[in-house]
């Protein structure tokens, strides 16, 4: 119950952050990625700004046995850098550079109802489903 409320509240903050920062605008993202063109550095401020509270939270977490409203921390612990990680990140990077949308802003931009966004998100879900079919099946669930 409480954790559900926290989820909604954090989602609200995240969505507002995407709008205020203009990360929701693919043209802004592409201008940031276009280092050789008229470079727009503003998205470095988004990541830098985001890392301030989130780093603080991860520091505070070290002193906590459990989260405030959940029974345990459920944070990734893997440390091995493998080919799968790098290949996935590289493919994601190409897709991000092609359109200027990553998953968060893509979901947020659904609120515009624009066909380009709907098509992109449908293809993105298709990509996730493809991964599920190709790699994740034997794991069940």
Partner 1 sequence: MSASSLEWWYPLGGGLLIGLSAGLYLLFNGRVTGISGMASVALGLARASSRLLPTLFLAGLLIGTLIATEWLRRPSIQVTSALPLLIVGGLLVGYGTRLGAGCTSGHGVCGLARLSPRSLAATGTFMVMAGITVFLMRHAFGATA
Query: 39 to 68, contacts with partner 1 by CB under 8 A?
Result: 40, 42-43, 45-58, 60-61, 64, 66-68
Task: Examine residue 110 and tell whether it contacts partner 1 (CB under 8 A).
Answer: yes
* 60 burial via Cβ count (<10 Å: 0-12, 13-18, 19+): exposed
**Structure token digits, residue 22:** 């203009």
Compute the distance between CA of residue 90 and CA of residue 136 in angstroms, rounded to an integer. Answer: 19
Taking the complex as a whole, how short is the minimal distance between the CB of residue 2 and partner 1, in angstroms?
8
Q: Which of 99, 121, 97 is nearest to 110 (CA)?
A: 121
Task: Examine residue 113 and tell whether it contacts partner 1 (CB under 8 A).
Answer: no
Q: Binding-site residue total for partner 1 (CB under 8 A)?
A: 119
**Considering only residues 12-31, where is the footprint of partner 1 by CB under 8 A?**
12-28, 30-31
């Amino acid at each position: 119950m409480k954790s559900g409320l926290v989820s909604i509240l954090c989602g609200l903050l995240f969505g507002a952050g995407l709008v205020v920062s203009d990360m929701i605008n693919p043209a802004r993202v592409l201008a940031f990625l276009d280092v050789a063109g008229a470079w727009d550095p503003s998205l470095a401020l988004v990541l830098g700004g985001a890392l301030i509270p989130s780093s603080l939270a991860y520091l505070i977490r070290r002193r906590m046995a459990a989260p405030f409203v959940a029974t345990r921390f459920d944070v990734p612990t893997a440390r091995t850098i493998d080919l799968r990680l790098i290949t996935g990140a590289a493919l994601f990077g190409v897709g991000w550079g092609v359109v200027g949308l990553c998953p968060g802003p893509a979901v947020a931009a659904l609120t515009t109802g624009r066909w380009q966004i709907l098509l992109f998100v449908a293809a993105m879900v298709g990509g996730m489903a493809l991964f599920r079919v190709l790699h994740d099946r034997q794991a069940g669930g």
